[in-house]
C-alpha cells in the first residue's frame, strides 16, 4: 500500500523520531545508544556491528500528543533494512519485508492521544535466496577465493556455514538498521491516501486522488512555481488544463515545478510535479521531444559513519558535485534511494533511472532464488512511491541477472515484470533491466527492453590492463548491438583506482590508468549514434564486504569516499562540459 511522504501543513503534523535510540544484539542485557537514521554497522568498533547476521533490537519511548485527539495517527518508517517487526509495549503491531521502501503503521486503537508507550523495532539483515537483495546461501562468496574442490577449503566452507555465515551476492556492504527517518504523523480521519498525476506537454494534467472517509468533495488546485493558481478541478479524478505550461527540463535546462494542492474535507496535501514527456523513438530517448543523452556516474547510498543512512547534507553535496561534473543523471544502483534524493533531483533537474533491489540474481546462483511474488511486489511499491517524480525517467527491474545460462527461462521470468512495470506506471515510462557482461548473443532479456543498459568491464575484469585489446573487443560487441536497432546506454564501466597512486606509465589502480580507461571507452562510444548514454562506475568509492579484490571497499569512484575528486573526475568534468556546450 502506498504511503504519501509525510508533510507538515495546516492539516497534517509530523514529529521526527530521529536521535539516539537504545540498541542491542540478541542475548545482550545492556542497551547501548545508536543513532537513527543511520546504518548501525559503523557506529562501534565492536565487530558484531559489522558482522552480525540476524535480529537486532531498537527501542525508544513515543508519546502521541493530546492535541492529536480525533486524528488519524501513524508511525511512518521511510525504510528499515531488510525486514522489520514493530512492537508497542512488547506487543507486535506490524511486520514489514524489504529494506528500501516506506511503510506506515496506524496507531489508532493501539495508543490514545496523551499516552506514552515503548516502541521496539526489531530489524533483520539476513539475506538469502528469498530476499532482495539476494544473499548467497552457503555458496561462493562474492568475488571470493573459493577454490572449489580442495577438501580442506571445502571443509572450511562447511565450518563457516555451520556458524551461520551470511554473505551478499552483491558488491556493496550489507548495511542495515533503521537507515531512514521514522516519524509520527497525524492527519484528519478523512484523509487523502494517494495521488496520481499524469501531465502532458500541452498542459493537460490527468489526476486521480484516493481518499479514505466520508468527506464529500475533493478539490485539486494547481499552483505555479510562484504559488499563483494555474488550474483547478473538483472530484476524485479528472483533467486539469494549464495554459502555456512551463516544462520540466533536465539540467542544464530549467526543471520547472508545479504543485498540486489537494483538499479533501479537512485534509490538505501538496504534491509537487513537473510537466515533461518521455518517449523512446527508434534509437533515441526523447525528453519533451528532444534527444536526451545520459551522462553521469552511477551512485550508491554510502558514506563514512552513516553507512547507508539517509543524510540530506550528503545528498546536497553529491548533487552539487554532479553539477560540478556537468553530469545530468544517475541510476539508483542497486535499490530505491531515500525519498529526499528524488525531491532534490526534481528541483535540480538531475535525471534518475530508478532501480529495484533485485541484485545478486547472477550466474553462480543458477536460478536458485525463490522469491514468490516478492519481486513484483517491490516493483509495485517502488512505482507507487516514485511515479509522480519528474526526475524519474525510466524503471530498472534489477541489476545484472544471469540471463544467458538459460535464456528462455530468464525471458519467462523477466518479461512479465517488464509488462507489469508498464501496466503499473500511469506515466508509462520506459523499462529496462541492467545487463552484465555476458554472452550477449544468447541472451534474450536485455535486448527485449525499451532501452538496453549494459555493464561492461573491458580493460578491467577482462583484457585487464590492455586498453588496445579492450577497445578492439568492445567495438566488436558494439557492432553487434548496432544491428539490434535499440538505444544503448553503457550503464557501468570503470577501473579501481587508489587515490594518490600515480605512474608515469598508466597501469591498473593508478589515477592515470582510470583516465586512460575512460579515454579508451569514450573513443568507442563516440563513434556510435545509437549509444545514448554513459554512466561510469562509480560516482564515489564505496564500502563492500571483505574479499581479495577489494582494498577497503570498491575503489572505482571518480571521487574518494570523502568526495575528493580523482583525476578522472576532472577529466569527465571537461568531457561533459563539451557535451553541454554542443547542445
Set 400, 511, 512, 534: catalytic member: 400
User: From the CB of 98, what's the least distance to ligand GCB, in Å?
Assistant: 19
Check residue 554 for interaction with ligand GCB (CB under 6 A). Answer: yes
Nearer to ligand GCB, 173 or 292 (CB): 173
Rounded to whole angstroms, the Cα distance separating 184 from 3 reads 13
Q: How many CA atoms lie within 13 A of 582 on its CB side?
A: 10
Nearer to ligand GCB, 84 or 169 (CB): 169
Check residue 11 for interaction with ligand GCB (CB under 6 A). Answer: no
Check residue 559 for interaction with ligand GCB (CB under 6 A). Answer: no
Q: Which of residues 392-431 bind ligand GCB (CB under 6 A)?
A: 399-400
Cβ neighbours of residue 206 closer than 8 Å, sequence gap 6 or more: 197, 198, 199, 200, 237, 238, 239, 426
**How many positions of this chain bind ligand GCB (CB under 6 A)?**
10
Torsion angle of the four alpha carbons 523, 528, 532, 538, in this order, in degrees rounded to the nearest 10: -30
Q: Which residue has the cell 552513516?
A: 306
Check residue 492 for interaction with ligand GCB (CB under 6 A). Answer: yes
Has 400 been annotated as catalytic? Answer: yes
Nearer to ligand GCB, 222 or 434 (CB): 434
Set 249, 301, 381, 492: catalytic member: 492
Nearest to 544 by CA among 176, 173, 175: 173
User: From the CB of 470, what's the least distance to ligand GCB, in Å?
Assistant: 15
User: From the CB of 554, what's the least distance to ligand GCB, in Å?
Assistant: 5
Among 96, 308, 389, 556, binds ligand GCB (CB under 6 A): 556
User: ∠172-296-275 over CA atoms, to 5°?
Assistant: 115
Check residue 436 for interaction with ligand GCB (CB under 6 A). Answer: yes
DSSP string, 390-404: TTEEEEEEEE----S
Rounded to whole angstroms, the Cα distance separating 10 from 188 reads 11
User: From the CB of 194, what's the least distance to ligand GCB, in Å?
Assistant: 33
Nearer to ligand GCB, 168 or 199 (CB): 168
The residues facing 489 across adjacent strands are: 453, 533
Task: Could you list the beta-strand ranges (E) of 379-530.
Answer: 392-399, 431-435, 452-455, 488-492
Cβ neighbours of residue 581 closer than 8 Å, sequence gap 6 or more: none
Contact 537, 493 (CB under 8 A): yes
Check residue 52 for interaction with ligand GCB (CB under 6 A). Answer: no
User: From the CB of 363, what's the least distance to ligand GCB, in Å?
Assistant: 12
Among 100, 362, 537, 576, binds ligand GCB (CB under 6 A): 537
Check residue 455 for interaction with ligand GCB (CB under 6 A). Answer: yes
Check residue 513 for interaction with ligand GCB (CB under 6 A). Answer: no
Rounded to whole angstroms, the Cα distance separating 51 from 99 reads 18
Question: Which residue's Cβ has the minimum distance to ligand GCB?
Answer: 171
- 3-class state of residue 11 by DSSP: coil
Check residue 141 for interaction with ligand GCB (CB under 6 A). Answer: no
Residue 66, Cβ density class (10 Å: 0-12 exposed, 13-18 middle, ≥19 buried): exposed
Nearer to ligand GCB, 335 or 571 (CB): 335
**What are the backbone dihedrals phi and psi of residue 350, each rounded to the nearest 5 degrees, phi first?**
-95, 125
**What are the backbone dihedrals phi and psi of residue 547, each rounded to the nearest 5 degrees, phi first?**
180, 160
Q: Which of residues 170-199 bind ligand GCB (CB under 6 A)?
A: 171
User: From the CB of 514, what's the least distance to ligand GCB, in Å?
Assistant: 13
Rounded to whole angstroms, the Cα distance separating 382 from 504 reads 47
Residues near ligand GCB, by CB under 6 A: 171, 334, 399-400, 436, 455, 492, 537, 554, 556
Catalytic residues: 400, 492
Amino acid at each position: 500500500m502506498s504511503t504519501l511522504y509525510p508533510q507538515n501543513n495546516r492539516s497534517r503534523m509530523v514529529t521526527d523520531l530521529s536521535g539516539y535510540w537504545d540498541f542491542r544484539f540478541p542475548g545482550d542485557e545492556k542497551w547501548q545508544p545508536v543513532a537513527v537514521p543511520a546504518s548501525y554497522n559503523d557506529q562501534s568498533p565492536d565487530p558484531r556491528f559489522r558482522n552480525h547476521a540476524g535480529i537486532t533490537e531498537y527501542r525508544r519511548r513515543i508519546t502521541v500528543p493530546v492535541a492529536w485527539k480525533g486524528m488519524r495517527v501513524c508511525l511512518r518508517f521511510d525504510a528499515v533494512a531488510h525486514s522489520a517487526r514493530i512492537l508497542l509495549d512488547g506487543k507486535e503491531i506490524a511486520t514489514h519485508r524489504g529494506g528500501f521502501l516506506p511503510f506506515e503503521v496506524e496507531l489508532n486503537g493501539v495508543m490514545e492521544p496523551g499516552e506514552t508507550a515503548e516502541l521496539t523495532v526489531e530489524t533483520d539483515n539476513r539475506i538469502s535466496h528469498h530476499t532482495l537483495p539476494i544473499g548467497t546461501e552457503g555458496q561462493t562468496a562474492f568475488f571470493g577465493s573459493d577454490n572449489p574442490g580442495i577438501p580442506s577449503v571445502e571443509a572450511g566452507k562447511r565450518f563457516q556455514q555451520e556458524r551461520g555465515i551470511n554473505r551478499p551476492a552483491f558488491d556493496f556492504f550489507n548495511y542495515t538498521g533503521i537507515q531512514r527517518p521514522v516519524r509520527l504523523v497525524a492527519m484528519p480521519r478523512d484523509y487523502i491516501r494517494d495521488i496520481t498525476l499524469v501531465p502532458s506537454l500541452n498542459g493537460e494534467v490527468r489526476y486521480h486522488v484516493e481518499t479514505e472517509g466520508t468527506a464529500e468533495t475533493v478539490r485539486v488546485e494547481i499552483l505555479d512555481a510562484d504559488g499563483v493558481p494555474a488550474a483547478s478541478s473538483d472530484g476524485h479524478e479528472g483533467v486539469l488544463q494549464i495554459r502555456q505550461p512551463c516544462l520540466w527540463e533536465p539540467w542544464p535546462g530549467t526543471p520547472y515545478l508545479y504543485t498540486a494542492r489537494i483538499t479533501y474535507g479537512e485534509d490538505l496535501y501538496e504534491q509537487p510535479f513537473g510537466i515533461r514527456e518521455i518517449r523512446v523513438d527508434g534509437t533515441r530517448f526523447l525528453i519533451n521531444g528532444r534527444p536526451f543523452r545520459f551522462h553521469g556516474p552511477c551512485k550508491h547510498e554510502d558514506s563514512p559513519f552513516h553507512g547507508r543512512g539517509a543524510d540530506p547534507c550528503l545528498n546536497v553535496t553529491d548533487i552539487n558535485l554532479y553539477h560540478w561534473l556537468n553530469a545530468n543523471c544517475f541510476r539508483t544502483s542497486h535499490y530505491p534511494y531515500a525519498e529526499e534524493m528524488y525531491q532534490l533531483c526534481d528541483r535540480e533537474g538531475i535525471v534518475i533511472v530508478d532501480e529495484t533491489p533485485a541484485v545478486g540474481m547472477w550466474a553462480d546462483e543458477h536460478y536458485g532464488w525463490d522469491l514468490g511474488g516478492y519481486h513484483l511486489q517491490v516493483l509495485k511499491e517502488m512505482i507507487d512511491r516514485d511515479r509522480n517524480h519528474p526526475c524519474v525517467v525510466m524503471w530498472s527491474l534489477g541489476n545484472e541477472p544471469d540471463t544467458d545460462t538459460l535464456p528462455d527461462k530468464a525471458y519467462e521470468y523477466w518479461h512479465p515484470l517488464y509488462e507489469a512495470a508498464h501496466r503499473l506506471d500511469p506515466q508509462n515510462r520506459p523499462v529496462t533491466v541492467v545487463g552484465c557482461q555476458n554472452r550477449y548473443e544468447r541472451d534474450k532479456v536485455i535486448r527485449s527492453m525499451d532501452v538496453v543498459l549494459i555493464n561492461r568491464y573491458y580493460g578491467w575484469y577482462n583484457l585487464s590492463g590492455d586498453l588496445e585489446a579492450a577497445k578492439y573487443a568492445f567495438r566488436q560487441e558494439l557492432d553487434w548491438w548496432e544491428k539490434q536497432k535499440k538505444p544503448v546506454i553503457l550503464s557501468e564501466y570503470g577501473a579501481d583506482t587508489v587515490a594518490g597512486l600515480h605512474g608515469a606509465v598508466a597501469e591498473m589502480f593508478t589515477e592515470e590508468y582510470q583516465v586512460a580507461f575512460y579515454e579508451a571507452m569514450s573513443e568507442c562510444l563516440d563513434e556510435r549514434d545509437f549509444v545514448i548514454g554513459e554512466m561510469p562506475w562509480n560516482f564515489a568509492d564505496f564500502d563492500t564486504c571483505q574479499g581479495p579484490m577489494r582494498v577497503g571497499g570498491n575503489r572505482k569512484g571518480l571521487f574518494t569516499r570523502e568526495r575528493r575528486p580523482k583525476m578522472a573526475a576532472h577529466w569527465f568534468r571537461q568531457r561533459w562540459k563539451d557535451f553541454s556546450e554542443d547542445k
